[in-house]
Amino acid sequence: MTISLRAFMGWMAASAACVLMGCSPGDQPGVPAKPKKLVVAMDATYPPFEVVDEKGEFFGVSVDLGRELGKSLGREVEFRNINFDGLIAALKSGSVDCIISSMSANDERRKSIDFSDPYVKTGLAILAAAKSPVQSLEDLKAPGRRVAVRLGTTGEQYARQYLPDASLVVLDSDTACVMEVVKAGVDAWIYDQLSLMNYHNRHPEATRVLLQPLREEVWAIGIQQGNTELKTKANEFLAKFRAEGGFGRLGDKYLAKEKAVMSEMGIPFVFDLKPGEVGKN
């Protein structure tokens, strides 16, 4: 196949224009490039917030939230399933755009990443073995207590800071932690209220759940430090989503039972943030 000089020169001009504008030679000058995918990282082992089914499909509160964020940005969303203790490293490396994975926004994590405004307020609580003497935080402080914590979580951070006499059993999954409680290999597990409520419901004979929070925490979207554009747009999205009843719909869809239990116990529902608690970051 031959090509005329005029066609060749036209191709060269188009290629040069693409280089100047940052597009590939196959793109057309003057035509907006398709927005990059929004890559969202999560540890999809935490129902009903982030889970992968047997077909490899992501679903849950965080997944719906991620899709709505992508829609507001005009970007297709890709979810990446990463173990919780590797999420921040993935964000810092630039291999993902943000973390939506029931992650508590705290000062320790803020040393290495930024956070959006909070969208959930919850608390660390206790799942105790049925025959354990643990009835409160003070009981956990007794020397010789065995306490399960999940690696990389605020439960682990809390236990290391406030339970110096406890023997910590550090595990890398929810399943491993709850099974230690069920078989009474530990006295208790420190984790968030919603998770412990769900695990107690699955093992009502072997566990007891103590829901009064040891410490209140907020969850937020993790964002790479310096990415002020995404942080601003994420905050705008969260404010609009809340104002339009989006979190109410997520609660009804995924957490209706938990909402009823927390209401009966006089504990605020996790999406019911006060005006002063929204926009902390």
Residue 29, pLDDT score: 58
CA angle, corner 206, sides to 201 and 211, nearest 5? 55
Tell me, what DSSP letter sits at residue 35? P
Q: Are 171 and 148 in contact (CB under 8 A)?
A: yes
CA dihedral 204, 208, 211, 215 (to 10 degrees): -130
Instruction: State pLDDT tens for residues 235-256.
Output: 999 999 999 999 999 999 999 9
Report the run of H or E that residue 217 belongs to, with start and end.
Answer: strand 207-219
Q: What is the pLDDT of residues 172-222, one digit of tens each?
A: 999 999 999 999 999 999 999 988 988 999 999 999 999 888 999 999 999
Structure tokens at 208: 């007891």
- Neighbour-count burial of 145, counting CB atoms closer than 10 A to its CB (0-12 exposed, 13-18 middle, 19+ buried): buried
Mean pLDDT of 16-34: 51
- Residue 32, pLDDT score: 61
- Nearest CA to 224 among 90, 58, 31, 92? 92
Cβ of 104: how many Cβ atoms within 10 Å?
Answer: 22
pLDDT score of 21: 41
137-146 long-range Cβ contacts below 8 angstroms, 24+ apart = 137/214, 140/166, 140/187, 140/188, 140/190, 141/165, 141/166, 145/187, 145/188, 146/185, 146/186, 146/187
Helix (H, G, I), strand (E, B) or coil at 187: coil
Instruction: Check residue 10 and give its pLDDT.
Output: 52
Choice among 78-92, 190-204, 232-246, 267-281 with the minimum mean pLDDT: 267-281
Q: From edge to edge, which strands make up the β-sheet containing 167-171?
A: 167-171, 146-150, 188-192, 120-129, 207-219
CA distance 34 to 229: 18
From first CA to last CA, the distance across the chain in angstroms is 61
